[in-house]
């Protein structure tokens, strides 16, 4: 698996100042990747991320992860996600709909 920064054509130097930000809407929600910030270190990344990604909508927690720590699949290998035969019997469309409904409920309860 390549490092994400290699995939994006970044040097270690460039990637060391970029932090991926994950936000959690409620304590029962997963942390979701919402973007990146430039910062000198992780602590500053969180300070900046608060205004970039938490000012328009309530959230309860943020993670900042150095870009250099993330491994990624290669887009050239994207065919690993393509089924060779019909897999509609195990696609989880209804799961996603259920998640959407549950998340709205959890937010209302907060």
Partner 1 sequence: MSLAQSPLGRRDDLRAAFGGYLLALADDELVLGHRHSEWTGFAPDIESDVALSSVAQEEIGHARLFYERAGDLLGGTPDDLAYGRAPDGFRNAVLVERPNGDWGFTIVRMFLYDRADAVRLDALAGGPVEPLADLAKTLRREEKYHLLYGEQWLRRLAGASGSSKARVQEALDSAWVEAESLFDPVDGHEGLVAAGVIPTAPDAQRAMWSGQVDVILEAIGLRVPEGRRLPKGRPGGVDGHVRDLNGRAGRHTADLRILLEEMTSVWRTEPGAKW
**Contact region with partner 1 (CB under 8 A), list: 38-46, 75-83, 91-99, 102-110:** 38-46
Give the list of residues 6+ apart from residue 24 with CB closer than 8 angstroms, or none.
30, 31, 32, 59, 60, 61, 62, 63
Does residue 52 interact with partner 1 by CB under 8 A?
yes
Does residue 40 interact with partner 1 by CB under 8 A?
yes
Q: CA torsion sign, 30 to 33 to 37 to 38?
A: positive
Interface residue with partner 1 among 1, 43, 88, 89 (CB under 8 A) is 43
Does residue 110 interact with partner 1 by CB under 8 A?
no
Interface residue with partner 1 among 5, 39, 64, 67 (CB under 8 A) is 39
Q: Cα torsion for 78, 65, 47, 102, to the nearest 10°?
A: 60
The residue ranges that bind partner 1 (CB under 8 A) are: 37-40, 43-44, 47-48, 50-52, 55
């Amino acid at each position: 698996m390549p490092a994400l920064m290699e995939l994006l054509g970044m040097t270690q130097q460039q990637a060391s100042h970029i932090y991926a930000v994950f936000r959690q809407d409620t304590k029962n929600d997963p942390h979701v990747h919402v973007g990146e910030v430039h910062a000198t270190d992780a602590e500053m990344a969180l300070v900046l991320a608060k205004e970039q990604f938490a000012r328009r909508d309530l959230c309860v927690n943020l993670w900042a992860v150095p870009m250099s720590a993330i491994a990624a699949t290669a887009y050239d290998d994207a065919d690993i996600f393509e089924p060779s035969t019909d897999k509609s019997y195990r696609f989880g469309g209804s799961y996603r709909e259920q998640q959407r409904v549950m998340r709205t409920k959890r937010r209302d309860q907060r």
